[in-house]
Amino acid sequence: MSKVNIDKEVLQKANKWLEGNYDEDTKNRIREMMQNEQQELVESFYRDLEFGTGGLRGIMGVGSNRMNKYTVGMATQGLANYLKARFSKLNKISVAVACDSRNNSHYFAKVTAEVFSANDIFVYLFEDLRPTPELSFAIRHFKCQSGVVITASHNPKEYNGYKAYWDDGGQLISPHDKNVIAEVQKIQDIDDVRFNGRPENIHLVGTEIDKEYLAEIKKLSLSPELIQKHKDLKIVYTPLHGTGYKLVPMALEEFGFENVALVEQQDIPDGNFPTVKSPNPEEAAALQRALEKARKIDADLVMATDPDADRVGIAVKNPENEFVLLNGNQTASILTYYLLTKWKENKKLDGKQFIVKTIVTSELLNDIARKYDVESFDVLTGFKFIADKIKAFEGEKEFIGGGEESYGFMIGDFVRDKDAVASCAMIAETTAWAIEQGKSLFSLLIDIYLEFGFYKEKLVSVIRKGKAGAEEIQEMMENFRENPPLEINHSKVVLIKDYLKGIAKDIQNGKEEKIDLPKSNVLQFFTADGTKISMRPSGTEPKIKFYFGVKEEIHAAEEYNEMNERLEKRINAVIDDLSLDA
């Protein structure tokens, strides 16, 4: 096989691992890559894994750019060092640690707990896999200073990850994320990591915390009397081999739903995800078995959660009695509409409530909030920024709910991350509410479009793997930033928001305004015909994401199919005009 040119820095890193206190299996694998898999060696060592919008995430394997005992250990040691410096006045520093169903998740969680415990940090370690939102809940419940969940969310089976949380139950944000990275980078030798755990500093957490978490979810219910009337609502649910397999059915039962059918083949935790190509509820293929079951029993609602149960995808029946998948924007819009309507009916709105969405999420959520005179805020992509907004208003304003286009939603503030367990229960309740009015969830969505306008969004991900791919993604962003289009699909660009520069520029008059959000590598173009285009490199995956949004008025439910097709063509024309090659 042909040799690959290997950077000196890559060789230096690889040789450092060969010379260091690493296990022999690891060293043998490095030698094998040096001899026969030079490209894999480059990919494994050309950089260190870094925290992105979702924390540490990568392919499992040997190397500084891979998820393994040593990269997990270094991340944990860095976090431990930061916690000890930040909370030096506390008598006891504590953290919570959980994991999902992925391969090596239990092992990485154990390594994480042992490193923390060796650093005299007390660990609440879940004895078995748990949803990510429950980890967030546990941090607040146990009054921990931090927490970690081992998960790669909806990524393919070769991935794993490490999400780090702060004392409010939200994921790390600036300056804490940068400070932890700095602490990790100070570790120049693996011998600086304390791997020998202290069992007396580790407490196993069992089902007792499940009961506390589910009790809080049950309090979210706004229409218990309607659920009693429609308790036989036919629901099909699949956890896609993930952590939702126990708690989502339990949450539905707590709400009062008695007719939940599980997809048996996928109701078994398995890190190989044998029945799906990818355990991602955003993809139609992942819901195929659930839809087959739903058609057999004539279900009213289909729901699927990802491996760590923080995202949920749903399918509902259209007027032709066919199941259609709703996207994350649609689900978030329906939930927001239901929550605000019921809060108003229940006389719970007093001007102190608010919702939050991310900047790439549908503007429809803001329109709904305006109708009910509820404040709405836009934040950067990632639920850690929604959590930070809740923290900023703690004691002053009440958070109702918030969401993002990537199938995440959060209700209430007892959890500070997207929560598919609570969302599944609330989606089922919203369905019961619609049925009580003689509607389906789909017809409720059309009603929302009739009132606020038909919003249609689409996401295109351009994947570019490896070192060369990362460089290409960076070049794409630089080109759009330095040479922005003047026109997109025959409509003039009227506003450009550059979140890295922190500036919003009105193209028509040249005026610039400061964007009051943290700096982030995101660009947005707004055109004269109302098209919204957002682009951002993913912080956790080798891709750049393009978000497209268009809107037109719709005057009758019968116009839905025609308008949907028309807006789809409009978005595709925009994509073609930008010459995107996914």
On whether residue 28 sits in a domain, the answer given is no
Statement to judge: residues 196 and 224 lie in one domain: no
Does residue 371 lie in a domain region?
A: yes
pTM of the model: 0.94
Asked if residue 29 is part of any domain, the answer here is no
Claim to verify: residue 351 and residue 392 sit in the same structural domain: yes
Residue at 539 is within a domain: yes
Q: Do 330 and 443 have their domain in common? A: yes
Domain identity same for 76 and 101: yes
The verdict on residue 260 lying in a domain is yes
Say if residue 56 is in the same domain as residue 97.
yes
% of the chain with per-residue pLDDT over 70:
98
Task: Give catalytic residues, as residue numbers.
Answer: 153
Q: 409 and 401 in contact (C-beta within 8 Å)?
A: yes
Among 187-191, 192-196, 420-424, 486-490, name the one with the lowest average pLDDT: 187-191
Residue 386 has pLDDT above 80, yes or no: yes
Tell me how many domains the chain contains.
3
* Residues 440 and 527 placed together within one structural domain of the fold: no
Longest dimension (CA), the chain: 72
Give the residue-averaged pLDDT of 417-436: 98
pLDDT digits (tens, 9 = 90+) for 248-289: 999 999 999 999 999 999 999 999 999 999 999 999 999 999
- List Cβ neighbours of 121 (8 Å cut-off, separation of 6 or more): 80, 83, 84, 93, 94, 95, 201
Give the separation between CA 224 and CA 425, rounded to whole angstroms: 12
Whether residues 70 and 154 fall in one domain: yes
**What pLDDT is recorded for position 7?**
86
Supply angle C-alpha 528, 532, 534, rounded to 5.
140
Query: Mean pLDDT, the chain, as a whole number?
Result: 95
Give the mean model confidence (pLDDT) for residues 431-440. Answer: 97
Q: How far is it, in rounded angstroms, from Cα 312 to Cα 270?
A: 18
> Is residue 568 in some structural domain?
yes
Q: Which pLDDT does position 51 carry in this prediction?
A: 62
Tell which residue, 230, 228, 235, 227, has the closest CA to residue 298: 235
CA–CA separation, 353 vs 375, rounded Å? 7
Where is pLDDT greater, at 479 or 174?
479
Task: Judge whether 16 lies within some domain.
Answer: no
Residue 304 main-chain phi, psi, to 5 deg: -135, 135
pLDDT tier at 469 (50, 70, 90 boundaries)?
A: confident
pLDDT in tens, 62-89: 999 999 999 999 999 999 999 999 999 9
Task: Judge whether residue 1 has pLDDT over 50.
Answer: no
More confidently predicted of 542 and 423: 423
- What is residue 466's predicted lDDT score, i.e. its pLDDT? 80
Q: Where does a domain end: 388, 418, 451?
A: 451
The amino acid present at 474, given as its one-letter code, is Q
Q: Are residues 446 and 469 in the same domain?
A: no
User: Quick one: pLDDT band at residue 52, thresholds 50, 70, 90?
Assistant: low
Quick count: other Cβ atoms within 10 Å of Cβ 529?
16
Single out the residue in 395, 428, 451 at which a domain terminates. Answer: 451
Q: How far apart are CA 249 and CA 257, in angstroms?
A: 9
Q: Is residue 433 part of a domain?
A: yes
Backbone angles phi, psi at 235, to 5 degrees: -120, 130
The answer, yes or no, to whether residue 168 has pLDDT greater than 70, is yes
Domain span at residue 238 reads: 213-451
In the numeric block, which tokens belong to residue 149? Answer: 């969940």
Does position 55 have pLDDT exceeding 80, yes or no?
Answer: no
Neighbours of 261 (CB within 10 A): 18
Together in a domain, 182 and 227: no
Residues 467 and 502 in one domain: yes
Q: Could you tell me if 230 and 344 lie in one domain?
A: yes
Q: Which of 203, 549, 103, 215 is nearest to 359 (CA)?
A: 549
- Provide the b/e sequence for 98-132 (b: ≥16 CB within 10 Å): bbbbbbbbbebbbbbbbbbbbbebbbbbbeebbbb
CATH number of domain containing 488: 3.30.310
Among residues 174, 206, 238, the one where a domain terminates is 206
pLDDT at 425: 98
pLDDT higher than threshold 90 for residue 315: yes
Q: What is the pLDDT of residues 350-382, one digit of tens each?
A: 999 999 999 999 999 999 999 999 999 999 998
On the CB side of 96, CA atoms within 13 Å amount to 29
The answer on 480 and 445 residing in a single domain is no
